[in-house]
Amino acid sequence: GLNRVRVDGDVVEVLDWADVRHLADLPAQPVYDQKKLVVR
């Protein structure tokens, strides 16, 4: 996600944290079984 902050002197203000609105119109992403992908 995207993070937006504002810095004013020594003060940091979090405006948005881990914003994923920019991903809203993307198709569903595939889900993989991570255990099957482990190389041993």
Residue-range definition of the domain harbouring residue 8: 1-39
In DSSP notation, 4-37 reads EEEEETTEEEEEEEEE-GGGTTSPPPP---HHHH
Q: Which pLDDT score is estimated for 39?
A: 78
CB 4 within 8 A of CB 21: no
Specify the number of domains making up the chain. 1
Which pair of tokens denotes residue 3?
Answer: 């993070």
Report pLDDT digits (tens) over 1-40.
889 999 999 999 999 998 888 888 999 988 888 888 787 7
CB 22 within 8 A of CB 3: no
Which pair of tokens denotes residue 40?
Answer: 């041993």
End-to-end CA distance of the chain: 31
